[in-house]
Amino acid sequence: MATDSFRHLSVMPREVVELLAPRPGGLYLDGTLGGGGHARLILEASSPDGRLIGLDHDPAALQAAGALLAPFGARVTLRRGSFAEMAEVVAGLGESRLDGILLDLGVSSHQLDTPERGFSFREEGPLDMRMDPAGPETAADLLATAEAGELKRIFRDYGEERWAALIAREIVRMRDREPLTTTRQLAELVSRVVPGGRVPQRIHPATRVFQALRIAVNRELEALQAGLDAALRLLGPGGRLAVISFHSLEDRLVKQTLRAAAGPCTCPPRLPVCVCGQTAQVKVLTPRGLTAGAAEIEANPRARSAVLRGAERLAA
């Protein structure tokens, strides 16, 4: 794959750099490297000797980011893998503390725009949806084996789909006659069975189903929780975490995790004295979350749903 074919616009780049506040000599981790846009800005802001570890599932992203970040030389270390594995990667590099961590969640523009990856219903492609092409299960595999109840749960819990049960039943009925293997098959099935699904509307009726399948195939919420927990352990005093989420499930998990880490006590209110002994780990820097401005949304519509949250690690 030619590196210039990897297209991904970094969301809220100025806000991310301001939140992370990179400095010379710091060590930073971009857990969702993508095309390397955020990473490049972090390296520029931490010149002349700040270092960055970049992680991504996708070999195409690593190739593109490697080309973009090549001018920074030994200041950059790239590894293939999930941000949920960041503790093992950092330890394997002989490090124990980070000064900043960035997680830019969800699917990249390049993945959405590559039909053979199967993330988008807008073009015909295989029902794949794996962020790591070597992952064990595709969306087609899941649709072929999951019971109706499990499909309903996935669509309801991960897609907040009103018609989850109806869609799940139709998938099970249809797959007995013909396997669901392409994005167009699934998109047309949803449009057919959802009330009003064939009426033109701003949001395609299959949007929530595709989101839910992607989250399930990649175990995104489980990985996010593991990554947040690891990030809070790895940040040194004064180190900062920045997380960009694109839907309410991710944002809720980020907000709740940061709020819990910022709380000094987890004891029930009825107890007269604290017995848990917990002290606040972080200070939340974005109580309401940051969103993209109108100019950025016009240039990059993907930024419309983005929410940026951050926290700073307190001294032990």
pLDDT at residue number 16: 97
CA dihedral for 57, 62, 64, 69, sign (positive or negative): positive
| Cα–Cα distance, 11 to 153 (Å, whole number) | 31
* Tokens encoding 155: 């669509």
Q: Which residues pair with 310 in a beta bridge?
A: 242
pLDDT at residue number 3: 46
| Cα–Cα distance, 85 to 263 (Å, whole number) | 26
pLDDT above 70: residue 201 = no
Q: Where in the chain is the domain with CATH 1.10.150.170?
A: 120-218
Report, as an integer, the average pLDDT of 12-16.
96
| Cα–Cα distance, 197 to 234 (Å, whole number) | 46
pLDDT at residue number 113: 72
Report, as an integer, the average pLDDT of 44-49.
98
pLDDT for 78-96, tens place per residue?
999 999 999 999 999 999 9
pLDDT at residue number 190: 94
Domain 3-110+220-313 matching CATH 3.40.50.150: the answer reads: yes
Q: Where in the chain is the domain with CATH 3.40.50.150?
A: 3-110+220-313
Report, as an integer, the average pLDDT of 279-306.
93
pLDDT at residue number 8: 62
Please state whether the predicted TM-score (pTM) of the whole model is above 0.85.
yes
Torsions phi, psi for 314 (to 5 deg): -85, 155
CATH topology of domain 120-218: DNA polymerase; domain 1 (1.10.150)
pLDDT above 70 covers a percentage of the chain that reads 95
pLDDT above 80: residue 310 = yes
